[in-house]
Amino acid sequence: MATMKFLCDTKRCIECNGCVTACKNENDSALEWGIQRRRVVTINDGQPGEASISVACMHCTDAPCQAVCPANCFYKTEDGLTLHNKDTCIGCGYCLYACPFGAPQFPKKGAFGSRGKMDKCTFCAGGPEENHSDAERQKYGSNRIAEGKLPMCAELCATKSLLAGDAEIISSIYRERVAYRGSKNAIWG
């Protein structure tokens, strides 16, 4: 099976926030007020060396969130995605502490340890409920993967900075780009 990954080409990202909007729109049914699965961060804003990058869950292979969750909410799909079960989530926040990318987010801000059910990027692959069921839409948003489509955020990226798909394929696209950019001695990996 494929191993699905994201890749963001910082040389192309123009901080338009199209991916953020696309995600919000696509997964609106599941997103409680204030929750944003994807965000664009610009470092060195307005200075030399400015760079923007779009970040969401990276669907880590040995996912720290999965290792740390006391309720054992997380599971891997055959596409290598890291998804979670909101019915088991106790809102403890451990996954947010452990995630290197700040992907897990909560509807409430930890007053007396209650944060509500964790939400994060699903790679537009829904959750453990039946594909395209109401329950899945309410809790996890869209399920494009089951329809054979790729994530909405990457599909709508105007500059094709954000790539989503099989790791092999997106890295070969990226490699090609770098070759065109004219660095003869670029070595991959």
Residues 130-189 that bind ligand SF4 (CB under 6 A): 151-153
Main-chain dihedrals φ then ψ at residue 68, nearest 5 degrees: -95, -15
**118 in contact with ligand SF4 (CB under 6 A):** yes
Find which of other proteins, ligand HEM, ligand SF4, none residue 140 binds, CB within 5 to 8 Å per kind.
none
Side-chain half-sphere CA neighbours of 51 within 13 A: 8
**70 in contact with ligand HEM (CB under 6 A):** yes
Q: Please report how close the Cβ of residue 79 comes to other proteins at its closest, in angstroms.
A: 15
Is 114 or 147 the residue whose CB approaches other proteins more closely? 114
Side-chain half-sphere CA neighbours of 145 within 13 A: 24
Provide the CA 116 distance to its chain's centre, in angstroms.
Answer: 20
Is 118 exposed, middle or buried, given 0-12, 13-18 or 19+ CB atoms closer than 10 A?
Answer: buried
Pick from 2, 29, 32, 87 the residue near other proteins by CB under 8 A: 87
**92 in contact with ligand HEM (CB under 6 A):** yes
Q: How far is 166 from 80, CA to CA, in rounded Å?
A: 10
Residues in the interface with ligand HEM (CB under 6 A) total 3
Beta-carbon contacts of residue 156 (< 8 Å; ≥ 6 apart): 18, 19, 21, 22
Q: Please report how close the Cβ of residue 174 comes to other proteins at its closest, in angstroms.
A: 8
Give the x-and-dash track for 90-119 against other proteins (CB under 8 A).
Answer: xxxxx-xxxxxxx--xx--xxxxxx-----
**37 in contact with ligand SF4 (CB under 6 A):** yes
Provide the CA 131 distance to its chain's centre, in angstroms.
Answer: 19
Which residue type is seen at 183?
Answer: S
Is 63 or 92 the residue whose CB approaches ligand HEM more closely? 92
Is 41 or 46 the residue whose CB approaches ligand SF4 more closely? 41
